[in-house]
Amino acid sequence: MPPPPAHSPGPPAPPIPLAELLAREELGLRRIAGPAEAELLWVHTSEMADPYPYLLGGELLLSAGVLLTDPDHYVGRLVEAGAAALGFGVRPVHETVPEALIEACDRYGLPLLEVPPETPFTTIARAVWRLMAEARHRELRRVTRAQQALATAAARPDPVPAVLHQLATQLSGRAVLLTARGEEVHAAGRRPPPKAAAALARLARVVARERPGSPASATDTLGATHLSAYALGGGEGLALTLATSRREAGDHTVAGVAVVLLSLLTAPHQGADAAARSAALVRLLLGATPGEVAPLLDGGGADGGQEAGAPWTVIHARRTDGMKADALTAGALGASLGSALVDAGREDDDTVRVLLPAAAREAAREQRPAPAQAPTVSPQPGWTLGVSTPTPPSALTTADLGAARALAHAEATRTPLKADAPITGLAALIPPDRAAAHARTLLAPLTPPLAETLRCWLSLHGSWDRTAVALAVHRNTVRQRIGRCAELLAMDLNDMDVRMELWFALRQE
């Protein structure tokens, strides 16, 4: 039996209900078997007799049944791989959807869609990506509005009750600040049933205990009520608890913003550094640029902190044991690197991100004298690190991408630390605007996933296996993508001159 499919870190956009795709009348899709409810994460087309090894789960698989011989086995393998639905195109291979396939989909509970001959598979894929983009746009717009509302509430004279009230409004539920003993400090929103209130108190006791290994968050469900609790880092044994009647995309992000604000607002004693970080966070949420708040985040501003525009380093880190780091573990890593600016990552992302200001690097260098050429970031036991080049605050997004590339390279080569190399040598002699224009023209035929695969493959000297590890895909998928790159670019990727030119162009993106 082939190995199970390798799962990606998560979909690039919220899942799309199957009903939304079926509602697109111009596609002419018709559900003829299986349940009506399903969520689509992506679209995949395959005419293989058994596409199981190449499925990630959650796909709408499109096929014309070229090699379909055993419908029962075929559908069973799709369900085992986690496919969300099957779209079967009629003609030219089959005049109608085979009855045995319809029966198998009903038996296994896999939605089966009939694709009319006038609807190309690419049109269906385009419709799914458009629906995903619309869903992502709605989610980002909602989260942005919520962030602004919470930041405004945090600036009021009664910030804690105001933030709780705004959070309860944004999530249409109950927001309560509880102690580790379950005592209510502040609350806002409609009261949940008594049993739900007792369950929230239990969750608060779980996350608010100040001991190593305590979870940073916990969730539960009581009937139709969704419960969650988050530990507040700034308070002494405090937890933010939520009771909502539904969970929507973006709710966790909105709650996370509230947790950060409440952690800062409930801190018993804020020193100058903590107050500066609090001001920086509020200013960011209210629209300030990274360059404007960078001096505050380094504990300075007027009293001698980091100068505006001074370089920062972005570090991406993952635990070598494959476990996701909790907030305490991530904070300990940040302390070892000399920074309190740590993001422990989302629930679906095990990457820890650390922002390292120039002042912190200089302090670390003074404590550990090293030769002038020594790296400013040292390997950390139990972690794999990817380090960006020092970057001005206005270009932190670029540095974030560089740190991600470096981490992928470090994991693929099994090295504890990899730094994203700056552009030097002959490449540095070409004006950046001309180099960027050349790169855009040369790489125009490539989609972003193909360009990233080509970049990773070239950085790993054409190794199929290491590239597959770095991208978390099957090595055959890497071969297919690189072959597609060669076709679109009309280039021989075995030619060293071609590889050099492509590498130069990819470094300008």
* Spatial separation of the C-alpha atoms in residues 115 and 179, rounded to whole Å: 56
Instruction: Give the residue from 392, 317, 301, 375 showing the smallest Cα distance to 349.
Output: 317
Q: How many other CB atoms are there within 10 angstroms of residue 24's CB atom?
A: 16
pLDDT at residue 152, as a whole number = 86
Q: How many CA atoms lie within 13 A of 41 on its CB side?
A: 14
Among the residues of 54-120, which ranges form H helices?
71-81, 99-108
Three-point CA angle 112, 116, 122, nearest 5°: 85
pLDDT at residue 327, as a whole number = 61
pLDDT at residue 304, as a whole number = 41
Tokens of 466: 């290491």
* Spatial separation of the C-alpha atoms in residues 216 and 205, rounded to whole Å: 12
User: Is residue 359 over pLDDT 60?
Assistant: no
User: Is residue 326 over pLDDT 70?
Assistant: no
* Spatial separation of the C-alpha atoms in residues 175 and 239, rounded to whole Å: 10
Average confidence score pLDDT of the chain: 80
Strand partners, 243: 174, 227
Average pLDDT over residues 221-234: 83
Instruction: Please indicate whether residue 304 or residue 349 has the higher confidence score (pLDDT).
Output: 349
pTM: 0.43
Instruction: Please indicate whether residue 122 or residue 282 has the higher confidence score (pLDDT).
Output: 122
Confidence class for position 369, pLDDT limits 50, 70, 90: very low
Fold of 425-508: Arc Repressor Mutant, subunit A (1.10.10)
* Spatial separation of the C-alpha atoms in residues 399 and 277, rounded to whole Å: 21
* Spatial separation of the C-alpha atoms in residues 31 and 35, rounded to whole Å: 9
> Are 506 and 420 contacting, i.e. CB atoms less than 8 angstroms apart?
no
Average pLDDT over residues 451-457: 86
* Spatial separation of the C-alpha atoms in residues 51 and 78, rounded to whole Å: 8
pLDDT at residue 329, as a whole number = 63
User: Is residue 10 over pLDDT 50?
Assistant: no
pLDDT at residue 205, as a whole number = 83
Instruction: Give the residue from 446, 195, 215 showing the smallest Cα distance to 325.
Output: 215
| Rounded (to 5) percent helix, strand, coil in the chain | 45, 15, 35
Q: How many other CB atoms are there within 10 angstroms of residue 3's CB atom?
A: 8
pLDDT at residue 316, as a whole number = 92
Average pLDDT over residues 316-336: 75
Three-point CA angle 365, 367, 369, nearest 5°: 60
pLDDT at residue 420, as a whole number = 82
> Are 77 and 50 contacting, i.e. CB atoms less than 8 angstroms apart?
yes
Tell me: the pLDDT tens digits for 286-302? 666 666 777 666 654 43
Tell me: the pLDDT tens digits for 384-430? 999 988 888 777 777 888 888 888 888 877 889 988 876 655 555 55
Confidence class for position 213, pLDDT limits 50, 70, 90: low
Instruction: Please indicate whether residue 491 or residue 370 has the higher confidence score (pLDDT).
Output: 491
Pairing of strands 42-45, 59-63: parallel
Tokens of 349: 């992302």
> Are 27 and 124 contacting, i.e. CB atoms less than 8 angstroms apart?
yes
User: Is residue 372 over pLDDT 70?
Assistant: no
Tokens of 221: 């469900």
**The total number of residues written for the chain in this structure:** 509
* Spatial separation of the C-alpha atoms in residues 227 and 200, rounded to whole Å: 7
CATH number of the 16-130 domain: 3.40.1390.20
Confidence class for position 35, pLDDT limits 50, 70, 90: very high
Confidence class for position 111, pLDDT limits 50, 70, 90: very high
User: Is residue 63 over pLDDT 90?
Assistant: yes
Residue 308 three-state SS: coil
* Spatial separation of the C-alpha atoms in residues 153 and 151, rounded to whole Å: 5
Tokens of 115: 């694709």
Q: Which amino acid, residue 498?
A: V
The second-level CATH assignment, the architecture, of 156-268 is 2-Layer Sandwich (3.30)
pLDDT at residue 330, as a whole number = 74
Average pLDDT over residues 103-108: 95
